[in-house]
Amino acid sequence: MSKPMSDTEKKKKSGKGELRETIVILIQALLIALVFRTLAFEPFSIPTASMQSNLLIGDYILASKYSYGYSRYSLPFTEVPLNGRVLGNEPQRGDIVVFRPVPQTDNYVKRVIGLPGDTVQMIDGILYINGEAIDRELIGRSEDRDSNGLTLPIMEYRETLPNGVSYTIQEVSNTAEYDNTGEYVVPPGHFFMMGDNRDRSLDSRSLNTVGYVPFENLIGKAQWRFFSINDNIPPWQVWRWPGNVRWDRMFTSVYAE
């Protein structure tokens, strides 16, 4: 006949059971978060001015992984032996995409301008695709501040792509380094990316640093801003939120202007 447990023994057993249950719940939560990040959405921060005024320094966005399918670049570990894309869908012209340039290790966020087989050229700040000038309407003059705190006067334009996608771009001038280029011919299976802040964006116009982006290197399609704060202030510094959080930008589509 077994000896009845004392109150102390019962408490110890109960405590061990509660600890085990807590550990199981934490492991399950981590697995759910990993699956969500791998297959559904991944958060990214915007540290530079290259996509202003659409994406500001200090914006935090969610990129959908499923939009373009999955590759080793869209998975948490690029060492995964996966070649090409699974369930791949090509981006549309005008999509804002998170990608990994070759051979860099940093993630970039830019807009898809050129599709495979397109020719792309800049002439006096005007974008040409397949020999046709893209509609560009002057909105007005403003000022833009970059990640170094440098403020410059800019011109804002509304640019409309051939498929009807329309968005605002910024130009410091129409004679900057990449405002006049030769023709770029986008290779098969590659895409041509550009920033909306044309004179402050390192993008596919620089063939040696970004260049044409392979379909495999796309990580996801930018969808929503879920947080935004001035000057890249770390979000965990909650005591700095008053006066710095951009509440009007939270939970908004990156395509709504």
Position 131 pLDDT exceeds 60: yes
**Residue of 65, 71, 74, 110 with catalytic role:** 110
- Of 198 and 37, more confident: 198
Sequence spans of domains, the chain: 16-253
Residue 249 token pair: 């930008």
Please, which residues bridge with residue 257 across strands? none
**Residue of 50, 74, 204, 228 with catalytic role:** 50
Is 110 designated active site? Answer: yes
Go through 37-57 and write b for each residue having 16 or more CB atoms within 10 A of its CB, e for each that does not: eeeebbebbbebbbbbbbbbb
- The answer to whether residues 112 and 97 touch, using CB atoms and an 8 Å cutoff, is yes
Q: pTM for the whole thing?
A: 0.84
Q: What gap in Å lies between CA 144 and CA 67, rounded to an integer?
A: 32
SS3 at position 233 = coil
* The predicted structure's pLDDT at residue 150: 83
Position 29 pLDDT exceeds 80: no
Residue 141 token pair: 């003059």
Position 5 pLDDT exceeds 60: no
- The answer to whether residues 183 and 121 touch, using CB atoms and an 8 Å cutoff, is yes
The terminus-to-terminus CA distance of the chain in angstroms comes to 77
Position 102 pLDDT exceeds 90: no
- The answer to whether residues 67 and 98 touch, using CB atoms and an 8 Å cutoff, is no
Q: Answer yes or no: CATH 2.10.109.10 is held by domain 16-253.
A: yes
Mean pLDDT over the full length of the chain:
87
- The answer to whether residues 204 and 211 touch, using CB atoms and an 8 Å cutoff, is yes
